[in-house]
Amino acid sequence: LGPDPDRILLVGGGISVGWGVSSHDDALGGYLARSVSAATGRGVAMNVISDDILSGGAKLPAGVMRILRTVDAVVLTPGDIEAILFLPAAIYRRQLENTLDQMTRAGPANMRIFIVGTIPLLAAIALPRAFRPWAAGLGAALNGTARQLCQEMTNTIFVPFSPSGIAGRERTGRSYSAWAGLIAPPIARQLDSCTDRSIR
């Protein structure tokens, strides 16, 4: 972990699950921890809960609530299942807002929440030609909804996520390393900017 570690919770389905590799150390959680640590010069204690929390009930799982009390930051990866199911943006907003409200109430005052943009659906699965324009528009709508919520809430930051090509289909360590490289910089900047971090 190293001295003075930042405590981060990575939670969500999709890219947080670690499909195709044998452990979270070789998946997004491990690569993200190493990337953030390299940028801040501090250790990172990373918890991973690979649960699509938006598609479940209205209340967050008890395990998530317990960990939230002890973290400096949450990295949330929503939207994958919602995009596949063509969920309307208005319903997505209600689900995401409920999740953010619960996290904000449960976590320390200075906890940061990072919402990672939904991976382009066409980069994740093959779709019939007729559905492709709709899929692209829905992904943009979901990300627009998440971005707007982040602007309305304190301590919540939207992290754009547009991996090049379709490398994520193999979900190899190389893919997860590249994804962490896109996500880590804004997280490291925010953690460095918070001189009075919440849990020490």
Predicted confidence (pLDDT) per residue in 132-156, tens digit: 666 667 778 889 999 999 999 989 9
> Predicted confidence band at 58 (pLDDT cuts at 50, 70, 90)?
confident
> Predicted confidence band at 167 (pLDDT cuts at 50, 70, 90)?
very low
Q: What single string gives the DSSP state of each residue in 21-74?
A: SSSGGGSHHHHHHHHHHHHHSS-EEEEEE---GGGS-SSPPHHHHHHHTT-SEE
Q: How far apart are CA 80 and CA 92, in angstroms?
A: 11
pTM for this model (two decimals): 0.86
